[in-house]
Amino acid sequence: MASPRREQRRVGGSERIGLYTLLRLERGGLEAGLPGQFFMLDVPGHIMPRPFSICLAEKDELAFLINPVGPATRVLCELERGQKIGLFGPLGNGFRTDVKRPLLVGGGIGVAPFPYAAQVMGNPPVVLGFRTARQAEAAQLVPKAEVCIEPQLVTELIPGVPMDVLACGPEPMLHAVHALVPDAQLAWEAPMACGFGACYGCVVELDGKSRRLCVEGPVLNGRPPALPLIDDEEEEAEA
Ligand SMILES: Cc1cc2nc3c(=O)[nH]c(=O)nc-3n(C[C@H](O)[C@H](O)[C@H](O)COP(=O)(O)OP(=O)(O)OC[C@H]3O[C@@H](n4cnc5c(N)ncnc54)[C@H](O)[C@@H]3O)c2cc1C
Ligand code: FES
């Protein structure tokens, strides 16, 4: 597994994709890690870094897809080409990609790890669900994705045949996927301050015990944590 590194990198570009922003950073010698792993990104004007899944890994750049839900994510969406930011990663446990019958399942900003996963896995079948057509514009990042918009739910697109499911999305979606496919690999979220096991800010209840999600996860195999991981309801940007 790639060793995490702390580096400063320049913004190579930033583009709006529907409601989200694809932030491209110069890669230098950074390793991308496995799909589902994440980086802690420093945010100008904020003390704490924030976790983001690796979205795209090209020869010269790493890209992150950002949903502007709060103060730090809004700052990241406004960064300009040439600005420098710090990042640390890759961190956590990613998806196992050497599966026989892959199906990628994403909900909302949970699409973020799947452009890179699709690249690594040779464009397997993908189903994505969004609340609005503007959010669904992010599906263009994942080749051959089948897309639905509420009221249709992404779980309705999961075929009734055995598949090796890799999923990322809001907590209710992950629990619904787990109910349909108990051994699905599920990428969970919790508030994270350090990303490498030092602060205990990301503790969740797993198998009846307190566990750090940044160390045990974020990808967990068929082991849903007890709810809720985040106090507030999941927020998606409105504008
Ligand atoms: C492993 C991991 C990977 C992630 N990958 C991505 C990604 O690729 N793209 C992306 O846009 N976001 C991702 N997130 C979520 C992102 O880190 C948070 O949205 C961000 O930290 C919010 O910071 P803020 O200051 O903008 O908003 P805040 O004011 O901190 O929060 C705004 C709202 O988001 C909720 N929130 C805060 N932190 C999280 C969190 N970690 N997970 C879920 N909800 C949260 C709050 O409860 C609040 O409702 C990831 C989180 C984790 C743990
Ligand atoms: S984020 Fe610090 S221990 Fe997990």
Q: Could you read off the pLDDT of 62-99 as tens digits, one per residue?
A: 999 999 999 999 999 999 999 999 999 999 999 999 99
CB-based burial label for 137 (10 Å; 0-12, 13-18, 19+):
middle
Query: CATH classification of 5-91, choosing from 3.40.50.300, 3.40.50.1110, 1.20.1630.10, 2.40.30.10?
Result: 2.40.30.10
- Residue 145 has a pLDDT of 97
Q: Where are the domains of the chain?
A: 5-91, 102-221
Tens of pLDDT, residues 100-140: 999 999 999 999 999 999 999 999 999 999 999 999 999 99
Distance 86 CA to ligand 2 centre (A): 18
* CATH class held by domain 102-221: alpha beta
The average pLDDT across 130-152 equals 97
Per this entry, what is the length of the chain?
239
Please list every protein residue whose CB sits less than 6 Å from any atom of ligand 1: 38, 50-53, 64-67, 69-73, 109, 112, 189-192, 218, 230, 232, 235
Statement: residue 238 has pLDDT above 70: no
- Residue 176 has a pLDDT of 96
- Residue 163 has a pLDDT of 95
CA 146-91-20 angle, to 5 degrees, is 40
- Residue 228 has a pLDDT of 55
CA neighbours closer than 13 Å in the CB half-sphere of residue 184: 27
Taking the CA of 48 as reference, the closest ligand is 1
Tens of pLDDT, residues 10-52: 999 999 999 999 999 999 989 999 999 999 999 999 999 999 9
Q: Give, for ligand 2, the residue of 204, 211, 214, 220 to mutate: max count of ligand atoms closer than 8 Å to Cβ.
A: 214
Let me know: does 39 contact 89? Beta carbons within 8 Å: yes
Distance 79 CA to ligand 2 centre (A): 26
The average pLDDT across 181-203 equals 96
The average pLDDT across 4-12 equals 96
Q: pTM here?
A: 0.94
Name the pLDDT band for 231 (thresholds 50, 70, 90). low
Q: Give, for ligand 1, the residue of 65, 73, 76 to mutate: max count of ligand atoms closer than 8 Å to Cβ.
A: 73
- Residue 234 has a pLDDT of 47
Statement: residue 146 has pLDDT above 80: yes
Q: Give, for ligand 1, the residue of 69, 194, 215 to mutate: max count of ligand atoms closer than 8 Å to Cβ.
A: 69
The finding on whether 195 has its CB within 6 A of some atom of ligand 2 is yes
